[in-house]
Amino acid sequence: MKHFRFIVIFSFLVFQSCVVFQATKVPSNNLKGTLEGDVSKSPKIVFLGDSITHGRVSYDYVESIRKNPKLTNALVVNEGINSRLTVQILEQLDSVIKLQPDYVFIMIGTNDLKATLSKEEYEQYANLWKLKEPVTENSFVQNLTTIVHRIQNETKTKIILFSPPILGEDPNSIPFLRSKRFAELTKEVATKQKVIYKPLHETLTTGLLSVQDLKKTPYVKKTWKMYWTILKYYSTTSTWNDLGEANGYYYLTDAIHLNERGGQVVETMVLETLFSQGI
């Protein structure tokens, strides 16, 4: 019995270590690494966000964009960090300003809105980031406005704001409706600050509603299911689409992150924006 218990505990620790390693591996082209190297390439394109931008626990749309043949001479920076809220983006603005990028694509808000869903969700982020203030719609708007305003004032960067993606795929569920509300707030900020707005949430919603007989699976907090999905991606030949479909999702992998189908919607929006600028 003791031997069996040891095997179970050891297997659990190995499993946890593998997931954490894969999920948290920092992109080599993050802001800090980029600033320490050659920044002479042009245009300079920065992606600011959370795990959806980080691309280690879902489709890596930033890396796919970086490999686009038309962007061979571009400097593409992935400044996505897992579990990040708007307040953590604020902490990276000195580095963004130092780089003086030509374009900054911002997709943030999923963790802010999750922190408003329940006390349990909030405490997870409060413990992780040592948050001193509650996360609210007002704090999200204030932080996002400050992010945009400071980049506008201290650089000549063209700013593109994405609405946060859907949370779960049941349009009638509270998490989905909260994500819709945060998309609306993002659009309001983009309009007031006169920056480009990309309706990611709206596009994914339209796509969901257009697919006949599609199962509408809601968001439910299941951390271990998310870890299991990550481990299966890195230990099998399954794609993010495969894993998402196995979990009951069309655009998502685990109710939060984008699979290839969802990530390529973002990718298309980014490339359309860049190429329309004559890149």
Q: Which domains does the chain have, with CATH numbers?
A: 27-211+260-276 (3.40.50.1110)
Quote the mean pLDDT of the chain.
92
Distance CA 202, CA 184 (A): 10
Please, are residues 22 and 55 in contact by the beta-carbon 8 Å criterion?
no
Provide the 10 A C-beta neighbour count for residue 43: 16
Whether the per-residue pLDDT at 179 is higher than 50: the answer is yes
DSSP labels, 87-117: HHHHTTHHHHHHH--SEEEEE--HHHHHTTT
% of residues, the chain, pLDDT over 70 = 91
Segment 188-212, tens digit of pLDDT: 999 999 999 999 999 999 999 999 8
| The two structure tokens encoding residue 89 | 């983006």
> DSSP assignment, residue 70?
G
Segment 217-242, tens digit of pLDDT: 999 998 888 888 998 998 899 999 99
Confidence of residue 10 (pLDDT cuts 50, 70, 90): very low
User: 257 — phi, psi (to 5°)?
Assistant: -95, 155
Segment 11-63, tens digit of pLDDT: 444 445 555 555 567 788 999 999 999 999 999 999 999 999 999 999 999 99
Greater model confidence, 73 or 28: 73
Nearest Cα neighbor of 110 from 168, 149, 192 is 168
Q: Which segment of 17-31, 32-46, 90-104, 249-263 scores lowest on mean pLDDT?
A: 17-31
Please tell me the predicted confidence (pLDDT) of residue 12: 47
Please tell me the predicted confidence (pLDDT) of residue 5: 59
Q: Where are the beta strands (DSSP E) in the chain?
A: 44-49, 75-80, 103-107, 158-162, 196-198
Please tell me the predicted confidence (pLDDT) of residue 8: 43
Please tell me the predicted confidence (pLDDT) of residue 22: 57
Element containing residue 247 per DSSP (H, E): none
Q: In sequence order, which residues have a C-beta less than 8 Å from that of residue 27 and are 6 or more positions away?
A: 33, 54, 55, 62, 63, 78, 80
As a whole number, mean pLDDT of residues 90-116 equals 97
Confidence of residue 87 (pLDDT cuts 50, 70, 90): very high
